Structure 1
C-alpha cells in the first residue's frame, strides 16, 4: 500500500472534522474570509443595545454559525467580559429545558469568574452545588463538602458529568428547581454583577447549539418560557433552528420580548434566483472561490482534480457542513481504494470518487424523506417557494437541510442539489 498517500488522505479526513473552528490554532490554520457581514451586523447590534438586551441567531445547520459565534466572542472581548459555550457539551439535547439553560449560564459564569480570580459569594457556590442529593440531608452535607473539595475550577466538569451520565441527577435538578427558577436567574445576575464590578466591562454570554434542538423542545423553551429565559440582566446571544422561524407563535413570543427579527447567517448563493436551474448558468465566482479555499486548506492540490473540486462545491448547496461531509466521504473512498488496490500511486479525488460520495449522502437523505415528502420537494423545486411554509412537512425538510433557504431582495427556497438527484432518479424531474 502507498503509505505516504494514505497518510495524506487520513490527514485531510481529520482536517475536515475540525469544523466548527473553536480552538485558536485551528482558526488560524483553516479560517477563510467567510460570514464577515453577519458577524459585523451582530457586533453592531450588540454594541448599540441596552446592557440587558437578548439576541437570537439562526441559520441552517452546518452553515458555519459555531465558527462565526466563536469569532464574534473573541472580537467582542475588548469591550465585554465574554463567555462562550456549547449547551450540547453540558446537557443531552433531548433533555434540555429552560431551567437547565439558566443553570448552565450561571455555572459557566461562575467558572469564568473563578478563572479570573473574581470573588463570588459562597452562598451562590453552595446553591449551585447544594441541590445534589437533597433527599437525604446527611448525605447532602457529606457530598457537598466533598464536591467543594474538588475546587470551583473543576465545577464545570463535575456538573457536566452529572447531567450527562446520571438520569437521577437530571430528575433531581428539575424537582428542586421546578419552582425556584427565579433563584437561578438571581445567581446568574449576582455573578454577572461581580464580574462587571471587577472588570469594568459588561457581561456577554454566547450560547451555541440551541439551534440543534428538535422543534417541540424549541417551542417549549422559546414560546412557553421565553420571559423567564430572557430575564437575566446582562446580554445573551441565543441560537434557534432556522425552521423555528416558520412558527408564528415562536416568532410572536420572540417579538414580545424585543426580538424584532433573529440575526441570520444565510446560506451562500452560488446562483441568482433567476439562474439557479439553468444548466448553462455560470455560478457566482466570489462565493465559489470561498468554498474552494476551504478545500485547498485541507486537501493538497495534487490530490484533487480542479474540476471535481468545483463540482464538490456546487453539490454542497452553499452549506459549509455539506462541503465538509462531501470532503470526508471523498477521503474515505480514497482510503478504501488504496487498500483495495495497494499498488496505486496516482489516486486522486476525481469525478468517480465524488460520485461515490454523492451516492452515500443521497442515500442518507433518501432514508429521511421516505415517499410522502417527494411532492413537497417537487413543488419547492418548481416554484422556488412553498404554499404553506409552516406546514410540518416543509419544516421537516428545512430542518433536515433537504430544502435550503436563500435570500436577497426576496426570500426563496430551493432543494438541496443532492436531493435534486433523488427527484430525478424518482422520475419527478426531467
Structure 2
C-alpha cells in the first residue's frame, strides 16, 4: 500500500535525526560498535586521575561520534562511579555560556542526579543547598512554590529557568564575579556530600561545548581555565578539533590541566595519498562500519543497490555527515512519494537511488559552499594539494576545520583532506 511506503520512509527519516545516541533505548536500537578502544583509554585516564589531573579535555570534529561515545562511557562507568553526563546546551543558551554558568550548571546537575537516584543527603544540608540555589538565583519563593504545586521538581524548574531567562543568568554571573569562592566552595561541598551519601566518586561529563564558536572557547579555556580546574572531582569537557591547532591554546590547556588533550579521530575513508586518485580503494573496515550505521536506521528495501557505499564515501567518515546525507535523501523521497500519490502513480518501488542521492548532495553542497570566500578557497586548494594548509594556525583555516569543510585524519601523524562535497565544488569551479 502507498501509505506503507510513506510510513517506512517517515520512520527512516525519524531514525536519522541528527542527535547522539544518549538513552539506553537509542543505543539498543542504533548503536554500532565503535570506539571501544577509546572508552578503555578514557577509563584509564579517569582511574589514573589525582587532584592535579582530574580535569580532562576531550576534542574531536563535530559529528564524529563524541557524544555517543561519552554517553556510552558514562553508562559503563556508572556501576563504580556516579557519572553525570549532560549537554550544556540543554541548560544554557549557546551565546551565554561562560565559565561561571558552566560551574553553576554542574552544581545543578549533581543535585538533580542525587534527587533522581534518591541519594539520601542529610536533610539539613540538603535544605541549605536548596536555600543557596534559591538565594543565588533570586527566584521568588512564591514562584517556586507555584511550579512545584503543578508537578515540577525544583531542579527541573531551575534548569528551565537557566535556559529561558537571561535575567537569571545575569544575576548568577554578577554574584559570582564578586564572590567566585562562594560558587566553588558550594559546588565542592555538594559533590562531597553526594559522593559520601552514595559511596561513589563523581565523574561529570559536559557535552556540546565543542559546538561553541572559537572565540567563546578561547574565553573559557584560555582566559578562565583556572576556574574550571577548581572542582575536586573528575570533569570531562568537550572542545572542537580546531582548538588543538591553536598552539598557544593547546599548550595552555595541557599545562594547566597536567593532561594531554584526548583526541577522538574521524573514521578514515581513504589512506593518506589515495583519496584523490580515480581508482582509489577505500578502507574496507571504515566503509563497513558506516554502512552498518545506516542499515540500523533504514530498511534495506528502501535502498537501491550500492547506494549505501556512495553515501558512505560522500560523508568523509564523519558520522553526522553520513546521517545528514541519508536524512536529506529520505526527505526528498517523501516529497516524491506524495507527488506520485496525488497523481495515483505507483510508489511501492520508490527507493533512495543514484538520482535522489545526487539531488541530496547538490543541495547540501550548495548550502555548505555558498559562504566560501576567496581566501577560504585558496586555503582549501592548498589543503587539497598538500594534505595540509600552508598555515594551520590561520584563523580562516581553523574556521574551516571547525565547520567540517576540512577534516583532520590521524595516522602516526595528522593530515587533512576536504569534505567530499567541498572537493566536488572546487572541481566544478575548476580550482582543483
TM over 0.5: yes
CA deviation vs aligned residue, 1:335-394 (integer Å, no higher than 9, x gap): 111122221321111110100110111011112324431111011000001121111110
Q: Would the aligned equivalents of 1:380 and 1:415 in 2 still touch at CA under 8 Å?
A: yes
CA deviation vs aligned residue, 1:262-315 (integer Å, no higher than 9, x gap): 111101001110212112121111111001001111111121123111010010
Report the secondary structure of 2:191's partner residue. helix
1:363 aligned residue (362, 366, 369): 366
Shift of 1:66: 0.7
How far, CA to CA, are the matches of 1:18 and 1:223 in structure 2? 30
The yes-or-no answer on 1:32 pairing with 2:32 is: yes
Aligned residue number for residue 5 of structure 2? 5
Aligned residue number for residue 270 of structure 1? 269
Q: Figure out how many residues of one structure are paired with residues of the other and give that number.
A: 423
How far, CA to CA, are the matches of 1:229 and 1:149 in structure 2? 36
TM score, norm. by length of structure 1:
0.94
How far, CA to CA, are the matches of 2:102 and 2:27 in structure 1? 27
Aligned residue number for residue 54 of structure 1? 55
Shift of 1:41: 1.1
Shift of 1:146: 6.0
| Matching of residues 207-226 of structure 1 within 5 Å | 207-226=206-225
Aligned residue number for residue 349 of structure 1? 352
Aligned residue number for residue 119 of structure 1? 121
Report the secondary structure of 2:370's partner residue. helix
Aligned residue number for residue 73 of structure 2? 72
Q: Which sections of structure 1, spanning at least 5 residues, go unmatched?
A: 135-139
The yes-or-no answer on 1:385 pairing with 2:388 is: yes
How far, CA to CA, are the matches of 1:172 and 1:67 in structure 2? 34
How far, CA to CA, are the matches of 1:188 and 1:260 in structure 2? 23
Q: Would the aligned equivalents of 1:39 and 1:72 in 2 still touch at CA under 8 Å?
A: yes
Shift of 1:117: 3.1
Change (3 A) 1:219 1:18: closer
How far, CA to CA, are the matches of 2:16 and 2:267 in structure 1? 19
Report the secondary structure of 1:306's partner residue. coil
Shift of 1:161: 2.2
Q: Would the aligned equivalents of 1:334 and 1:353 in 2 still touch at CA under 8 Å?
A: yes
Aligned residue number for residue 421 of structure 1? 424
Q: Would the aligned equivalents of 2:184 and 2:230 in 1 still touch at CA under 8 Å?
A: yes
Q: Would the aligned equivalents of 1:12 and 1:298 in 2 still touch at CA under 8 Å?
A: yes
CA deviation vs aligned residue, 1:311-337 (integer Å, no higher than 9, x gap): 100100000000110011000111111
Shift of 1:40: 1.6
Report the secondary structure of 2:85's partner residue. strand
Q: Would the aligned equivalents of 2:101 and 2:169 in 1 still touch at CA under 8 Å?
A: no
Shift of 1:142: 4.8
Shift of 1:206: 0.7
| Matching of residues 153-168 of structure 1 within 5 Å | 154-168=153-167
The yes-or-no answer on 1:409 pairing with 2:412 is: yes
Q: Would the aligned equivalents of 1:38 and 1:263 in 2 still touch at CA under 8 Å?
A: no
Aligned residue number for residue 319 of structure 1? 318
How far, CA to CA, are the matches of 1:225 and 1:149 in structure 2? 39
Change (3 A) 1:386 1:146: same
Shift of 1:423: 0.3
